[in-house]
């Protein structure tokens, strides 16, 4: 479990690094354009980095409970029922993310076998950005499984009944 949590933190750090690199690329592009030498690659590279930043940190966001939830009606239910529904939603979410991860891995394998490249000036082998997406989904899957196991280990009284009479 500790190793999994550390991998998720590494994903967050990689997401932060991707955001820093986006900044470097954009500043370089602005300076180059101002000097009369516009770049042809900055938009493509910053797009890949933006995807990396968003998916690599997604596991950490889930681990911290930062993904949005619409609980309008759920909060009106009794606490034990809320806890049961939360567990069900966490399990379904984990299954969905795992299915997405498997699909992404299959896409990466197919792209690698066919040798697809981006139809742009850089002609980046698409297996590279797809592998980053797959890595982010793996981290998100790990976080989702950790969330499910954490919720199932909670005792029914741990569901936040403080302040109730």
Domain boundaries, position 6: 2-158
Is 100 inside any structural domain? yes
Is 165 inside any structural domain? no
Is 110 inside any structural domain? yes
pTM of the model: 0.83
pLDDT in tens, 132-157: 999 999 999 999 999 999 888 876 55
Is 44 inside any structural domain? yes
What separation in angstroms does the CA of 57 have from each of 33, 60, 61?
31, 5, 6
C-alpha span between 71 and 160 (Å, rounded): 15
Number of domains the chain contains: 1
What is the per-residue pLDDT for 72?
84
Is 60 inside any structural domain? yes
Is 163 inside any structural domain? no
C-alpha span between 165 and 163 (Å, rounded): 7
């Amino acid at each position: 479990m500790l190793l999994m949590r550390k991998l998720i933190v590494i994903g967050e750090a990689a997401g932060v690094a991707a955001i820093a690199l986006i900044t470097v690329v954009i500043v370089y592009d602005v300076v180059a354009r101002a000097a009369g030498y516009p770049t042809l690659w900055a938009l493509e590279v910053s797009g890949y980095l933006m995807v990396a930043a968003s998916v690599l940190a997604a596991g950490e966001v889930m681990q911290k409970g930062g993904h949005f939830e619409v609980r309008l009606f759920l909060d009106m239910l009794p606490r034990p029922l809320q806890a049961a529904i939360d567990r069900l939603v966490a399990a379904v979410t984990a299954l969905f993310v795992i299915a997405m991860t498997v699909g992404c891995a299959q896409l990466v394998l197919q792209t690698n076998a066919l040798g697809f490249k981006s139809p742009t000036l850089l002609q980046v082998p698409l297996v590279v950005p797809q592998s980053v997406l797959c890595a982010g989904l793996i981290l998100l899957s790990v976080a989702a499984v950790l969330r499910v196991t954490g919720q199932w280990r909670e005792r029914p009284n741990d569901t936040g009944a403080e302040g109730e009479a």
